[in-house]
């Protein structure tokens, strides 16, 4: 008789499991996914750094990129003053420098103009 009273509902054991799964789903879409998106954007920004870009470091220092290495960036923070930072230390790009088009695209444009004539 005791067992019959305790096992009244079959769905009662499934509800906590569904609530936990729902909680993990909400946490994924509200916290984990946006963080991954921000990390990808930061990595893309840091990989496209080039000489002439004006940037801000995570410490709030403004500077102009003068050189780029695989893992470091050389910034000019004042005339004649250059400092070296790790790429992840760059928080954002204030303005990007005008970069000339690559020689491959220039050659393709010249070839296209020759064909037009």
Determine the pLDDT at residue 13.
83
Name the band, by pLDDT with cuts 50, 70 and 90, for residue 47.
Answer: confident
Determine the pLDDT at residue 67.
93
Neighbours of 53 (CB within 10 A): 22
The full set of domain ranges for the chain reads: 11-47, 49-96
Determine the pLDDT at residue 99.
67
Name the band, by pLDDT with cuts 50, 70 and 90, for residue 21.
Answer: very high
Q: Which residues contact 68 (CB under 8 A, 6 or more apart)?
A: 49, 50, 51, 74
**CATH top-level class for 49-96?**
mainly beta
Query: What is the arithmetic mean of pLDDT over 1-14?
Result: 58
């Amino acid at each position: 008789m005791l067992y019959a009273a305790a096992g009244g509902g079959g769905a009662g054991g499934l509800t906590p499991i569904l609530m936990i799964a729902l909680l993990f789903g909400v946490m994924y879409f509200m916290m984990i996914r946006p963080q991954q998106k921000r990390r990808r954007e930061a990595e893309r920004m840091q990989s496209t750094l080039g000489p002439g870009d004006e940037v801000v470091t995570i410490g709030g220092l403004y500077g102009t990129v003068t050189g780029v290495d695989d893992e470091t960036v050389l910034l000019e923070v004042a005339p004649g003053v250059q400092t070296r930072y790790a790429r992840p230390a760059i928080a954002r790009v204030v303005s990007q420098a005008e970069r000339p088009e690559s020689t491959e695209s220039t050659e393709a444009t010249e070839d296209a103009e020759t064909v037009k004539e």
